[in-house]
A and B are shown apart, each in its own frame.
Chain A
Amino acid sequence: MIKSHPSEAILYQYASGDLSAAMTLVVGTHVDMCSVCQQTVCEIEHDLCSKHLDTVVQTLNTPSHGYSGLSKTDTDKMLEKIFSSEAKPAVQPDELICLEGRRFVLPRTLAHNRARIGDWTNLVGKLWRAPIDVGDRGHTNLIYMEPGTQVPEHTHKGQEATLVVDGVFNDEKDVYYNGDFILLDADRTHTPQTSAQDCLTLATLDAPLYFTSGISRLLNPFSSLFFRASA
């Protein structure tokens, strides 16, 4: 049972197409995994449609004020272009990802972005990262923690969104399972860790992480390594 969902405001921006690509990917992957949010998104899309399309009642021949309408010539030209267009080839999602003998089936939205996932890098100890190139500023990664892994305590400059794709992890505040979506503000300090189980998460971050605990200073290059897409 998923207990941690994106807020309705975020779902609204997701459905209207107003989130960044990276955030859309994380929220969309949550929605793939969450029947509750699927239902909410359906309702929001219905509302958005009522607001943006259904309220427009003018037809071809009766354009309303402030709106020039489509002429017969425009319409014929467009139809001709549509009928002579080629269908785009169907996209085949690639839903499988492997690491260290583990195999994960990616949720639908993530599977459609499989080609954007780079190679795994072992960061430190039992912590792995694969960058996802979504073309936004900020950093989006798959993070894999083997059992008994602790990410050094850190804060970040920007907002961090994390989704549990498979497994379980906890921080000081709570335990998170498959499908849980966690949004952290810039000033929150936290220490994600796994115990008996491993965990695959999808995470996006506006700005690099800054580690706060003493020992982590030794891992100075680590903070940028963690979230920077490899060149």
Chain B
Amino acid sequence: MQVTSERTSQRGVMNTTQQDTAEKAAELLAKVAETRSRAAFSELFSHFAPKLQAYGTRQFGNEQTAMDLVQETMTNVWHKAHLFKPDRGSPSTWIFTIARNIRFDLLRKNKKRKDDISADELWPILAEQNDNLDDGYALDNDVLMQEIAHYYAQLPDPQRVVVEKIYIEGKSQQEVSDSLGIPLGTVKSRTRLALKKLKELIVEHD
């Protein structure tokens, strides 16, 4: 993946080189995401691993920890390549932010508690984007609890139980998922459906 540079203007060469590299890396990431291509990944690895290793060595002053940073960063690249979005920045910036997260975790590992906060919670860059936070709870904030209380009895049982636990008992979605033994995604979709239904009922009767 080394790009040969023509020696014209220094700055122009840099930009062209960087751009070519970025495009190539983006293609490889797409290939990894779509076809799980080991060859494409290996090419990414040979380009980025030495850079990550140098970054890790400077950060930790320790070869072994630097190797851990390379290993863990590139493992995330392998599994999460589909989360790279070319419109948001270059592949190397994306990989840098993954390495930044790994560095944060490696630095905290020394003073470790089992449930210590992880970088993925603080910078959720590798979270799947499918669950859009905006579309879910579209009830206006000023809809009163009484209104919900008035209409929620009309919901189908599975939705009613979820709404009851969240809005009346004040449980978190995770707690509801745990207590009912159903997946969090199901709790979310039931909440969403219930709120949609409630909204319709409230509008209907206004």
Which residues of A line the B interface, CB within 8 A?
15-17, 21, 24-25, 28, 42, 45-46, 48-49, 52-54, 56, 58-60, 63, 67-70, 74-75, 78-79, 81-83, 85, 87-88, 90-99, 101-103, 105, 107-109, 111-117, 120, 134-135, 166
Contacts and interface: CB of A to CB of B under 8 A. Distances in A.
Interface stretch (B97-105, B153-161, B196-204): B97-105
21 contacts: A17-B103, A17-B119, A42-B89, A53-B95, A59-B2, A63-B50, A67-B57, A69-B53, A78-B70, A78-B71, A79-B38, A79-B41, A79-B45, A82-B74, A85-B78, A87-B80, A92-B131, A93-B124, A103-B137, A109-B124, A116-B121
B150 interface: no
Nearest to B144: A101
B127 A48 contact: no
B185 A134 contact: no
Contact of B38 (A25, A60, A70, A83): A83
Contact of B71 (A24, A46, A60, A81): A81
A105 B133 CA distance: 8
B19 interface: no
Contact of A48 (B57, B96, B121, B136): B96
Nearest to A54: B92
Closest CB pairs A-B (n = 4):
A49-B96, A87-B79, A101-B145, A56-B51
A117 B52 CA distance: 34
Interface residues of B, number: 71
A88 B139 CA distance: 33
A120 B185 CA distance: 25
A96 B137 contact: yes
A154 B95 CA distance: 44
Nearest to A136: B117
Given A59-B2, A92-B184, A45 B49 contact: no
Q: Is the interface of B mostly helix, strand, loop or mixed?
A: helix
Interface of B: 2, 18, 38, 41-42, 45-55, 57-58, 63, 67, 70-71, 74-75, 78-80, 88-90, 92-93, 95-97, 99-101, 103-104, 108, 113, 115-117, 119-124, 127-128, 131, 133, 136-137, 139, 141, 144-145, 166-167, 170, 172-174, 184-185, 188, 191
A112 B128 CA distance: 12
Given A17-B104, A90-B128, A97-B172, 19 more contacts: A21-B108, A21-B122, A52-B99, A53-B51, A53-B55, A56-B51, A58-B54, A59-B2, A63-B50, A70-B53, A78-B71, A79-B38, A79-B41, A79-B45, A83-B38, A88-B79, A92-B185, A120-B170, A135-B116
Nearest to A116: B117
Contacts of A102: 141
Nearest to A88: B79
A53 B172 CA distance: 41
A52 B100 CA distance: 10
Given A52-B96, A78-B49, A112-B127, A42 B120 contact: no
